[in-house]
Protein backbone atom coordinates (compact mmCIF):
# COMPACT_ATOMS: atom_id res chain seq x y z
CA UNK A 1 0.00 0.00 0.00
CA UNK A 2 1.59 3.23 -1.21
CA UNK A 3 1.22 6.57 0.34
CA UNK A 4 0.41 9.47 -1.96
CA UNK A 5 2.72 12.39 -1.75
CA UNK A 6 1.21 15.87 -1.97
CA UNK A 7 3.07 18.92 -3.19
CA UNK A 8 2.49 21.97 -1.02
CA UNK A 9 1.32 25.00 -3.01
CA UNK A 10 2.80 28.37 -2.20
CA UNK A 11 0.44 30.71 -0.33
CA UNK A 12 -1.49 33.18 -2.43
CA UNK A 13 -0.44 36.69 -1.61
CA UNK A 14 -2.46 39.74 -2.47
CA UNK A 15 -0.86 42.25 -4.81
CA UNK A 16 0.57 45.27 -3.11
CA UNK A 17 -1.87 48.15 -2.91
CA UNK A 18 -1.38 50.92 -5.41
CA UNK A 19 -2.36 54.54 -5.63
CA UNK A 20 -3.74 56.11 -8.81
CA UNK A 21 -1.78 59.32 -8.96
CA UNK A 22 -2.91 62.34 -10.99
CA UNK A 23 -0.21 63.09 -13.53
CA UNK A 24 -1.27 65.38 -16.37
CA UNK A 25 -4.48 66.82 -14.92
CA UNK A 26 -2.92 69.24 -12.35
CA UNK A 27 -0.41 70.53 -14.92
CA UNK A 28 -3.14 70.97 -17.54
CA UNK A 29 -5.28 72.83 -15.00
CA UNK A 30 -2.41 75.19 -14.17
CA UNK A 31 -1.73 75.84 -17.85
CA UNK A 32 -5.42 76.54 -18.42
CA UNK A 33 -5.53 78.97 -15.50
CA UNK A 34 -2.47 80.86 -16.80
CA UNK A 35 -3.95 81.12 -20.30
CA UNK A 36 -7.25 82.35 -18.87
CA UNK A 37 -5.48 85.04 -16.84
CA UNK A 38 -3.58 86.20 -19.93
CA UNK A 39 -6.77 86.30 -22.01
CA UNK A 40 -8.57 88.26 -19.30
CA UNK A 41 -5.70 90.72 -19.00
CA UNK A 42 -5.76 91.29 -22.75
CA UNK A 43 -9.53 91.81 -22.67
CA UNK A 44 -9.15 94.25 -19.79
CA UNK A 45 -6.61 96.23 -21.84
CA UNK A 46 -9.01 96.35 -24.78
CA UNK A 47 -11.83 97.47 -22.49
CA UNK A 48 -9.61 100.17 -21.00
CA UNK A 49 -8.79 101.53 -24.45
CA UNK A 50 -12.43 101.37 -25.55
CA UNK A 51 -13.56 103.53 -22.64
CA UNK A 52 -14.39 107.17 -23.45
CA UNK A 53 -11.85 109.85 -22.62
CA UNK A 54 -13.77 111.15 -19.60
CA UNK A 55 -17.08 110.92 -17.80
CA UNK A 56 -18.77 108.51 -15.44
CA UNK A 57 -19.10 105.79 -18.07
CA UNK A 58 -15.35 105.95 -18.68
CA UNK A 59 -14.50 105.32 -15.03
CA UNK A 60 -17.12 102.58 -14.86
CA UNK A 61 -15.61 100.68 -17.80
CA UNK A 62 -12.08 101.08 -16.52
CA UNK A 63 -13.07 99.93 -13.05
CA UNK A 64 -14.73 96.86 -14.56
CA UNK A 65 -11.57 96.17 -16.56
CA UNK A 66 -9.28 96.34 -13.51
CA UNK A 67 -11.61 94.36 -11.24
CA UNK A 68 -12.13 91.69 -13.91
CA UNK A 69 -8.41 91.27 -14.49
CA UNK A 70 -7.69 90.98 -10.77
CA UNK A 71 -10.63 88.62 -10.17
CA UNK A 72 -9.40 86.25 -12.89
CA UNK A 73 -6.26 85.63 -10.82
CA UNK A 74 -8.45 83.65 -8.43
CA UNK A 75 -8.34 80.66 -10.79
CA UNK A 76 -4.64 80.28 -10.00
CA UNK A 77 -5.39 79.34 -6.37
CA UNK A 78 -7.09 75.96 -7.00
CA UNK A 79 -4.51 75.24 -9.71
CA UNK A 80 -1.70 75.73 -7.21
CA UNK A 81 -3.54 73.58 -4.69
CA UNK A 82 -3.82 70.81 -7.29
CA UNK A 83 -0.09 70.93 -8.04
CA UNK A 84 0.86 70.84 -4.35
CA UNK A 85 -1.60 68.04 -3.55
CA UNK A 86 -0.28 65.97 -6.47
CA UNK A 87 3.30 66.41 -5.22
CA UNK A 88 2.29 65.33 -1.70
CA UNK A 89 0.46 62.31 -3.14
CA UNK A 90 3.55 61.19 -5.09
CA UNK A 91 5.72 61.55 -2.02
CA UNK A 92 3.31 59.64 0.23
CA UNK A 93 2.88 56.85 -2.35
CA UNK A 94 6.52 55.83 -1.95
CA UNK A 95 5.88 54.68 1.62
CA UNK A 96 3.57 51.72 2.18
CA UNK A 97 2.25 52.95 5.51
CA UNK A 98 1.14 56.27 3.96
CA UNK A 99 -0.97 54.88 1.12
CA UNK A 100 -4.21 56.14 2.65
CA UNK A 101 -2.75 59.63 2.86
CA UNK A 102 -1.59 59.35 -0.75
CA UNK A 103 -5.09 58.44 -1.92
CA UNK A 104 -6.57 61.40 -0.05
CA UNK A 105 -4.00 63.80 -1.52
CA UNK A 106 -4.59 62.40 -5.01
CA UNK A 107 -8.34 62.91 -4.66
CA UNK A 108 -7.78 66.49 -3.47
CA UNK A 109 -5.49 67.14 -6.45
CA UNK A 110 -8.13 65.92 -8.91
CA UNK A 111 -10.88 67.94 -7.26
CA UNK A 112 -8.80 71.14 -7.21
CA UNK A 113 -7.84 70.61 -10.85
CA UNK A 114 -11.45 70.24 -11.94
CA UNK A 115 -12.40 73.29 -9.86
CA UNK A 116 -9.77 75.19 -11.82
CA UNK A 117 -11.18 73.95 -15.13
CA UNK A 118 -14.74 74.92 -14.15
CA UNK A 119 -13.73 78.38 -12.92
CA UNK A 120 -11.62 78.93 -16.03
CA UNK A 121 -14.56 78.04 -18.26
CA UNK A 122 -16.76 80.57 -16.44
CA UNK A 123 -14.11 83.28 -16.79
CA UNK A 124 -13.69 82.50 -20.48
CA UNK A 125 -17.44 82.83 -21.05
CA UNK A 126 -17.48 86.23 -19.34
CA UNK A 127 -14.44 87.28 -21.36
CA UNK A 128 -16.10 86.21 -24.60
CA UNK A 129 -19.23 88.17 -23.64
CA UNK A 130 -17.12 91.25 -22.96
CA UNK A 131 -15.37 90.93 -26.33
CA UNK A 132 -18.77 90.54 -28.00
CA UNK A 133 -19.93 93.79 -26.43
CA UNK A 134 -16.75 95.49 -27.62
CA UNK A 135 -17.03 94.11 -31.16
CA UNK A 136 -17.22 96.46 -34.14
CA UNK A 137 -15.84 99.42 -32.18
CA UNK A 138 -18.17 98.59 -29.22
CA UNK A 139 -21.23 99.05 -31.47
CA UNK A 140 -23.02 96.21 -29.65
CA UNK A 141 -22.65 97.98 -26.33
CA UNK A 142 -23.78 101.27 -27.82
CA UNK A 143 -26.85 99.62 -29.37
CA UNK A 144 -28.08 97.71 -26.33
CA UNK A 145 -26.48 99.41 -23.32
CA UNK A 146 -26.16 103.08 -24.17
CA UNK A 147 -26.13 105.02 -20.85
CA UNK A 148 -27.72 108.08 -22.44
CA UNK A 149 -30.58 106.12 -24.01
CA UNK A 150 -31.18 104.17 -20.80
CA UNK A 151 -31.25 107.33 -18.70
CA UNK A 152 -33.68 109.11 -21.04
CA UNK A 153 -36.15 106.22 -21.32
CA UNK A 154 -35.97 104.49 -17.93
CA UNK A 155 -38.55 106.66 -16.15
CA UNK A 156 -41.26 106.40 -18.82
CA UNK A 157 -40.62 102.69 -19.38
CA UNK A 158 -40.84 102.01 -15.63
CA UNK A 159 -44.16 103.89 -15.39
CA UNK A 160 -45.53 101.93 -18.36
CA UNK A 161 -44.32 98.74 -16.69
CA UNK A 162 -47.00 99.33 -14.08
CA UNK A 163 -49.53 98.37 -16.77
CA UNK A 164 -47.80 95.02 -17.18
CA UNK A 165 -47.89 94.45 -13.43
CA UNK A 166 -51.58 95.37 -13.25
CA UNK A 167 -52.47 93.03 -16.14
CA UNK A 168 -50.49 90.20 -14.56
CA UNK A 169 -52.02 90.59 -11.08
CA UNK A 170 -55.60 90.97 -12.36
CA UNK A 171 -55.24 87.99 -14.68
CA UNK A 172 -53.70 85.84 -11.95
CA UNK A 173 -56.62 86.47 -9.61
CA UNK A 174 -59.15 85.58 -12.31
CA UNK A 175 -57.11 82.59 -13.47
CA UNK A 176 -57.13 81.08 -9.98
CA UNK A 177 -60.94 81.04 -9.98
CA UNK A 178 -61.45 80.14 -13.64
CA UNK A 179 -58.87 77.35 -13.59
CA UNK A 180 -60.44 75.78 -10.49
CA UNK A 181 -63.89 75.84 -12.11
CA UNK A 182 -62.50 74.13 -15.21
CA UNK A 183 -60.72 71.50 -13.11
CA UNK A 184 -63.87 70.71 -11.12
CA UNK A 185 -65.87 70.50 -14.35
CA UNK A 186 -63.34 68.12 -15.87
CA UNK A 187 -63.59 65.90 -12.77
CA UNK A 188 -67.40 65.92 -12.64
CA UNK A 189 -68.45 62.33 -11.75
CA UNK A 190 -70.92 59.97 -13.36
CA UNK A 191 -73.07 60.17 -16.44
CA UNK A 192 -74.57 63.47 -15.33
CA UNK A 193 -71.15 65.09 -15.38
CA UNK A 194 -70.13 63.76 -18.79
CA UNK A 195 -71.22 66.88 -20.76
CA UNK A 196 -69.25 69.08 -18.38
CA UNK A 197 -66.22 66.83 -18.68
CA UNK A 198 -66.35 66.94 -22.47
CA UNK A 199 -66.75 70.71 -22.62
CA UNK A 200 -63.99 71.33 -20.08
CA UNK A 201 -61.64 68.93 -21.87
CA UNK A 202 -62.34 70.54 -25.25
CA UNK A 203 -61.78 74.03 -23.83
CA UNK A 204 -58.50 73.06 -22.16
CA UNK A 205 -57.21 71.33 -25.28
CA UNK A 206 -58.08 74.26 -27.55
CA UNK A 207 -56.67 77.05 -25.41
CA UNK A 208 -53.50 75.15 -24.63
CA UNK A 209 -52.97 74.71 -28.36
CA UNK A 210 -53.60 78.30 -29.49
CA UNK A 211 -50.70 80.75 -28.92
CA UNK A 212 -51.34 83.51 -26.40
CA UNK A 213 -50.67 86.26 -28.93
CA UNK A 214 -53.42 84.92 -31.19
CA UNK A 215 -55.95 84.92 -28.35
CA UNK A 216 -54.93 88.45 -27.37
CA UNK A 217 -55.33 89.63 -30.96
CA UNK A 218 -58.74 87.98 -31.37
CA UNK A 219 -60.05 89.36 -28.08
CA UNK A 220 -58.53 92.81 -28.48
CA UNK A 221 -59.80 93.42 -32.03
CA UNK A 222 -62.58 90.85 -32.37
CA UNK A 223 -64.81 91.97 -29.51
CA UNK A 224 -65.03 95.63 -30.66
CA UNK A 225 -65.77 94.49 -34.22
CA UNK A 226 -68.47 92.07 -33.07
CA UNK A 227 -70.15 94.80 -30.97
CA UNK A 228 -70.91 92.35 -28.14
CA UNK A 229 -72.81 94.21 -25.39
CA UNK A 230 -70.65 94.76 -22.34
CA UNK A 231 -67.53 93.24 -23.93
CA UNK A 232 -66.99 95.48 -26.93
CA UNK A 233 -66.46 98.46 -24.61
CA UNK A 234 -63.47 96.85 -22.84
CA UNK A 235 -60.31 98.89 -22.82
CA UNK A 236 -57.19 97.31 -24.34
CA UNK A 237 -55.87 96.66 -20.83
CA UNK A 238 -58.95 94.72 -19.71
CA UNK A 239 -59.11 92.95 -23.06
CA UNK A 240 -55.56 91.74 -22.39
CA UNK A 241 -56.61 90.60 -18.91
CA UNK A 242 -59.53 88.64 -20.39
CA UNK A 243 -57.36 87.05 -23.08
CA UNK A 244 -54.66 85.95 -20.64
CA UNK A 245 -57.31 84.63 -18.25
CA UNK A 246 -58.84 82.48 -20.98
CA UNK A 247 -55.44 81.15 -22.06
CA UNK A 248 -53.81 80.51 -18.71
CA UNK A 249 -57.02 79.21 -17.18
CA UNK A 250 -56.50 76.11 -19.33
CA UNK A 251 -52.97 75.57 -18.00
CA UNK A 252 -53.93 76.23 -14.38
CA UNK A 253 -56.91 73.87 -14.70
CA UNK A 254 -54.52 71.01 -15.46
CA UNK A 255 -52.38 71.98 -12.47
CA UNK A 256 -55.43 71.94 -10.23
CA UNK A 257 -56.56 68.60 -11.69
CA UNK A 258 -53.17 67.03 -11.03
CA UNK A 259 -53.26 68.31 -7.47
CA UNK A 260 -56.76 66.94 -6.88
CA UNK A 261 -55.83 63.57 -8.36
CA UNK A 262 -52.80 63.40 -6.07
CA UNK A 263 -55.02 63.30 -2.98
CA UNK A 264 -55.39 59.72 -1.84
CA UNK A 265 -58.73 58.14 -2.68
CA UNK A 266 -59.26 57.23 0.96
CA UNK A 267 -59.85 60.91 1.73
CA UNK A 268 -62.81 60.99 -0.66
CA UNK A 269 -64.09 57.61 0.52
CA UNK A 270 -63.99 58.65 4.17
CA UNK A 271 -65.79 61.91 3.41
CA UNK A 272 -68.51 60.21 1.42
CA UNK A 273 -68.97 57.58 4.12
CA UNK A 274 -69.66 60.40 6.57
CA UNK A 275 -72.49 61.62 4.38
CA UNK A 276 -70.78 64.49 2.54
CA UNK A 277 -71.83 65.06 -1.05
CA UNK A 278 -69.34 65.15 -3.92
CA UNK A 279 -69.37 68.96 -3.97
CA UNK A 280 -68.87 69.27 -0.21
CA UNK A 281 -66.12 66.65 -0.32
CA UNK A 282 -64.27 68.70 -2.92
CA UNK A 283 -64.85 71.94 -1.05
CA UNK A 284 -63.99 70.87 2.48
CA UNK A 285 -61.60 67.93 2.05
CA UNK A 286 -59.95 67.50 -1.34
CA UNK A 287 -59.44 71.01 -2.71
CA UNK A 288 -57.85 72.50 0.46
CA UNK A 289 -55.26 69.72 0.47
CA UNK A 290 -54.69 69.96 -3.29
CA UNK A 291 -54.16 73.73 -3.23
CA UNK A 292 -51.18 73.39 -0.90
CA UNK A 293 -49.56 70.95 -3.32
CA UNK A 294 -50.10 73.00 -6.47
CA UNK A 295 -48.72 76.32 -5.21
CA UNK A 296 -45.18 75.79 -6.65
CA UNK A 297 -46.35 74.84 -10.20
CA UNK A 298 -48.91 77.66 -10.06
CA UNK A 299 -46.08 80.10 -9.42
CA UNK A 300 -44.26 78.77 -12.49
CA UNK A 301 -47.37 79.32 -14.61
CA UNK A 302 -47.76 82.83 -13.24
CA UNK A 303 -44.17 83.63 -14.14
CA UNK A 304 -45.01 82.68 -17.72
CA UNK A 305 -48.18 84.76 -17.58
CA UNK A 306 -46.19 87.71 -16.31
CA UNK A 307 -43.80 87.52 -19.25
CA UNK A 308 -46.66 87.16 -21.73
CA UNK A 309 -48.02 90.55 -20.67
CA UNK A 310 -45.47 91.98 -23.14
CA UNK A 311 -47.62 90.50 -25.93
CA UNK A 312 -50.40 93.00 -25.27
CA UNK A 313 -48.50 95.48 -27.43
CA UNK A 314 -50.22 93.94 -30.48
CA UNK A 315 -53.56 95.50 -29.45
CA UNK A 316 -52.17 98.94 -28.69
CA UNK A 317 -51.80 98.79 -24.92
CA UNK A 318 -49.13 101.23 -23.76
CA UNK A 319 -47.14 98.82 -21.67
CA UNK A 320 -43.41 98.83 -21.01
CA UNK A 321 -42.51 97.12 -24.28
CA UNK A 322 -44.66 99.45 -26.37
CA UNK A 323 -43.20 102.48 -24.60
CA UNK A 324 -39.71 101.13 -25.21
CA UNK A 325 -40.48 100.63 -28.90
CA UNK A 326 -41.44 104.30 -29.17
CA UNK A 327 -38.08 105.34 -27.75
CA UNK A 328 -36.25 102.80 -29.92
CA UNK A 329 -37.93 104.16 -33.05
CA UNK A 330 -37.09 107.75 -32.15
CA UNK A 331 -33.49 107.14 -31.05
CA UNK A 332 -32.60 104.27 -33.43
CA UNK A 333 -31.29 102.48 -30.35
CA UNK A 334 -32.49 99.41 -28.45
CA UNK A 335 -31.27 100.33 -24.99
CA UNK A 336 -34.82 101.18 -23.93
CA UNK A 337 -35.84 97.59 -24.72
CA UNK A 338 -32.95 96.44 -22.53
CA UNK A 339 -34.59 98.40 -19.69
CA UNK A 340 -37.78 96.36 -20.23
CA UNK A 341 -35.79 93.13 -20.08
CA UNK A 342 -34.11 94.27 -16.86
CA UNK A 343 -37.47 95.11 -15.25
CA UNK A 344 -38.86 91.66 -16.06
CA UNK A 345 -35.70 90.04 -14.69
CA UNK A 346 -35.93 92.02 -11.45
CA UNK A 347 -39.49 90.88 -10.68
CA UNK A 348 -39.21 87.37 -12.12
CA UNK A 349 -36.06 86.03 -10.46
CA UNK A 350 -37.38 86.37 -6.85
CA UNK A 351 -40.53 84.52 -7.88
CA UNK A 352 -38.44 81.81 -9.53
CA UNK A 353 -36.34 81.35 -6.40
CA UNK A 354 -39.52 81.24 -4.29
CA UNK A 355 -41.01 78.56 -6.57
CA UNK A 356 -37.80 76.50 -6.32
CA UNK A 357 -37.83 76.80 -2.54
CA UNK A 358 -41.46 75.73 -2.32
CA UNK A 359 -40.79 72.79 -4.63
CA UNK A 360 -37.85 71.69 -2.48
CA UNK A 361 -39.93 72.05 0.67
CA UNK A 362 -42.82 70.06 -0.79
CA UNK A 363 -40.39 67.36 -1.93
CA UNK A 364 -38.89 67.13 1.57
CA UNK A 365 -42.36 66.99 3.13
CA UNK A 366 -43.46 64.20 0.80
CA UNK A 367 -40.35 62.14 1.65
CA UNK A 368 -40.96 62.55 5.36
CA UNK A 369 -44.57 61.46 4.91
CA–CA separation, 114 vs 78, rounded Å?
9
Distance CA 270, CA 303 (A): 37
Q: How far apart are CA 281 and CA 35, in angstroms?
A: 67
CA distance 224 to 29: 66
Tens digit of pLDDT for each residue in 301-314?
Answer: 888 899 899 998 88
Sequence-distant (6+) residues with CB within 8 A of 318 are 160, 163
More confidently predicted of 8 and 63: 63
pLDDT in tens, 156-180: 999 999 999 999 999 999 999 999 8
> Would you say 110 and 71 are in contact if contact means Cβ atoms under 8 Å apart?
no
pLDDT tens figures, 115-159: 999 999 998 898 888 888 777 776 777 788 888 888 888 899 999
Q: How far apart are CA 214 and CA 243, in angstroms?
A: 9
> Terminal CA-to-CA distance of the chain, rounded, Å?
76
Give the CA radius of gyration of the chain. 32
Q: Output the pLDDT for position 339.
A: 92
Q: How far is CA 268 from CA 46, 172, 193, 263, 278, in A?
A: 69, 29, 17, 8, 8
In this prediction, residue 331 has a pLDDT band, given cuts at 50, 70 and 90, of confident
Residues in Cβ contact with 249 at an 8 Å cutoff, skipping those fewer than 6 apart: 174, 175, 178, 179, 182, 207
pLDDT digits (tens, 9 = 90+) for 247-298: 999 999 998 888 877 777 677 777 777 777 767 777 777 777 777 777 778 8
Phi and psi, residue 199, nearest 5°: -65, -45
Inform me whether the pLDDT recorded for 299 exceeds 50.
Answer: yes
Phi-psi region of 190 (alpha: psi -120 to 50; beta: other; left: phi over 0): left
Q: Element (H or E) spanning 197, and its range?
A: helix 194-209
User: CB 29: neighbour CB atoms within 10 A?
Assistant: 30
Amino acid sequence: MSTATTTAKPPVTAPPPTVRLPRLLPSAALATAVLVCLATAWTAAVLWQAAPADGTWSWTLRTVAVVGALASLAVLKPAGQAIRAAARARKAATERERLAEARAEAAEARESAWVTVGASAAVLLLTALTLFLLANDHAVQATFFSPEAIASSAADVARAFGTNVFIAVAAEVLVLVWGLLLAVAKLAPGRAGRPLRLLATAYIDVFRAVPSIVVIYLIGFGLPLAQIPGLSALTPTWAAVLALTLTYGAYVAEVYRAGIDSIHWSQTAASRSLGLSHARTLRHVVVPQAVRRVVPPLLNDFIGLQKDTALVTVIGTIDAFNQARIYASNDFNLSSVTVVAALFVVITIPQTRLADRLLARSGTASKSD
